[in-house]
Homo-oligomer: A and B are copies of this chain.
Amino acid sequence: MLTKARERLSVSVEPIFADRGLCGREFGMLVLLSRRGALRQTDLADALRIDRTTAMHSVDTLQAAALIQRHPYPGDRRAHAVKITAAGKKVMKQILPVLAAAERRFLTGLDAAEREQLMALLSRLVTS
Protein backbone atom coordinates (compact mmCIF):
# COMPACT_ATOMS: atom_id res chain seq x y z
CA MET A 1 0.00 0.00 0.00
CA LEU A 2 2.86 2.33 0.87
CA THR A 3 4.52 1.37 -2.38
CA LYS A 4 1.43 2.11 -4.40
CA ALA A 5 0.79 5.42 -2.64
CA ARG A 6 4.36 6.53 -3.11
CA GLU A 7 4.36 5.46 -6.75
CA ARG A 8 1.18 7.41 -7.32
CA LEU A 9 2.60 10.52 -5.71
CA SER A 10 5.89 10.39 -7.58
CA VAL A 11 4.12 9.95 -10.90
CA SER A 12 2.45 13.31 -10.34
CA VAL A 13 5.44 14.99 -8.76
CA GLU A 14 8.48 13.90 -10.77
CA PRO A 15 7.34 15.63 -13.98
CA ILE A 16 7.41 18.91 -12.07
CA PHE A 17 11.13 18.47 -11.54
CA ALA A 18 11.73 16.93 -14.95
CA ASP A 19 10.20 19.99 -16.62
CA ARG A 20 13.10 21.97 -15.15
CA GLY A 21 15.70 19.36 -16.01
CA LEU A 22 15.88 18.13 -12.42
CA CYS A 23 14.86 15.11 -10.40
CA GLY A 24 13.48 14.88 -6.88
CA ARG A 25 16.89 14.42 -5.36
CA GLU A 26 18.27 17.52 -7.01
CA PHE A 27 15.32 19.56 -5.83
CA GLY A 28 15.98 18.14 -2.37
CA MET A 29 19.54 19.40 -2.61
CA LEU A 30 18.33 22.89 -3.45
CA VAL A 31 16.02 22.87 -0.44
CA LEU A 32 18.80 21.58 1.78
CA LEU A 33 21.27 24.19 0.56
CA SER A 34 18.76 27.01 0.94
CA ARG A 35 18.14 25.96 4.54
CA ARG A 36 21.60 25.05 5.72
CA GLY A 37 23.78 27.33 3.61
CA ALA A 38 27.02 26.04 2.08
CA LEU A 39 27.67 22.32 2.44
CA ARG A 40 30.46 20.05 1.33
CA GLN A 41 29.58 17.39 -1.20
CA THR A 42 30.08 14.68 1.41
CA ASP A 43 27.66 16.53 3.69
CA LEU A 44 25.08 16.43 0.91
CA ALA A 45 25.74 12.73 0.35
CA ASP A 46 25.37 11.96 4.06
CA ALA A 47 22.20 14.03 4.39
CA LEU A 48 20.61 12.27 1.42
CA ARG A 49 22.03 8.88 2.37
CA ILE A 50 23.65 8.33 -0.99
CA ASP A 51 27.20 7.67 -2.15
CA ARG A 52 29.37 10.74 -2.62
CA THR A 53 29.86 9.86 -6.30
CA THR A 54 26.10 9.77 -6.73
CA ALA A 55 25.84 13.11 -4.99
CA MET A 56 28.50 14.46 -7.33
CA HIS A 57 26.43 13.68 -10.40
CA SER A 58 23.58 15.74 -8.99
CA VAL A 59 25.94 18.55 -8.04
CA ASP A 60 27.28 18.47 -11.61
CA THR A 61 23.75 18.67 -12.99
CA LEU A 62 22.81 21.55 -10.73
CA GLN A 63 26.01 23.41 -11.52
CA ALA A 64 25.55 22.91 -15.27
CA ALA A 65 22.15 24.57 -14.84
CA ALA A 66 23.80 27.33 -12.77
CA LEU A 67 21.51 26.57 -9.83
CA ILE A 68 24.43 25.96 -7.48
CA GLN A 69 28.10 26.89 -7.47
CA ARG A 70 31.22 25.23 -6.11
CA HIS A 71 33.31 27.56 -3.97
CA PRO A 72 36.52 27.01 -2.03
CA TYR A 73 35.78 25.60 1.39
CA PRO A 74 37.33 27.73 4.13
CA GLY A 75 39.84 25.74 6.14
CA ASP A 76 40.02 22.66 3.95
CA ARG A 77 41.42 22.95 0.48
CA ARG A 78 40.31 19.44 -0.42
CA ALA A 79 36.64 20.31 -0.06
CA HIS A 80 34.18 22.41 -2.03
CA ALA A 81 31.58 24.61 -0.46
CA VAL A 82 28.42 24.01 -2.48
CA LYS A 83 26.14 27.04 -2.45
CA ILE A 84 22.76 27.68 -4.01
CA THR A 85 22.75 30.57 -6.49
CA ALA A 86 20.13 33.28 -6.93
CA ALA A 87 18.91 31.37 -9.99
CA GLY A 88 18.73 28.24 -7.86
CA LYS A 89 16.61 29.97 -5.24
CA LYS A 90 14.38 31.31 -7.95
CA VAL A 91 13.78 27.89 -9.49
CA MET A 92 13.18 26.43 -6.07
CA LYS A 93 10.61 29.10 -5.28
CA GLN A 94 8.92 28.48 -8.61
CA ILE A 95 8.69 24.79 -7.92
CA LEU A 96 7.43 24.99 -4.33
CA PRO A 97 3.84 26.11 -5.03
CA VAL A 98 3.48 23.74 -7.99
CA LEU A 99 4.64 20.95 -5.75
CA ALA A 100 2.20 21.96 -3.04
CA ALA A 101 -0.62 21.96 -5.59
CA ALA A 102 0.33 18.47 -6.75
CA GLU A 103 0.37 17.34 -3.16
CA ARG A 104 -3.09 18.78 -2.61
CA ARG A 105 -4.37 16.99 -5.70
CA PHE A 106 -2.79 13.80 -4.42
CA LEU A 107 -4.55 14.28 -1.10
CA THR A 108 -7.91 15.01 -2.69
CA GLY A 109 -10.38 12.74 -0.95
CA LEU A 110 -8.97 13.37 2.50
CA ASP A 111 -10.23 16.31 4.52
CA ALA A 112 -7.93 18.52 6.56
CA ALA A 113 -8.21 16.45 9.72
CA GLU A 114 -7.53 13.24 7.84
CA ARG A 115 -4.46 14.72 6.17
CA GLU A 116 -3.06 15.70 9.54
CA GLN A 117 -3.83 12.24 10.87
CA LEU A 118 -2.03 10.61 7.96
CA MET A 119 1.01 12.83 8.37
CA ALA A 120 1.11 12.18 12.11
CA LEU A 121 0.88 8.43 11.66
CA LEU A 122 3.50 8.35 8.92
CA SER A 123 5.92 10.51 10.85
CA ARG A 124 5.68 8.14 13.80
CA LEU A 125 6.49 5.22 11.50
CA VAL A 126 9.44 7.05 10.03
CA THR A 127 11.00 8.18 13.29
CA SER A 128 10.25 5.25 15.57
Contact = CB atoms under 8 A, between A and B. Distances in A.
A94 to B, nearest CB: 22
Given A6-B6, A125-B8, A1 B119 contact: yes
Q: Tell me how many chains of this kind the complex includes.
A: 2
A1 to B, nearest CB: 5
The secondary-structure label for the interface of chain A is: helix
A28 to B, nearest CB: 10
A3 B126 CA distance: 10
Interface of A: 1-6, 8-10, 106-110, 114, 117-119, 121-126, 128
10 contacts: A1-B126, A2-B122, A3-B6, A5-B122, A5-B125, A8-B126, A109-B125, A110-B124, A117-B121, A118-B125
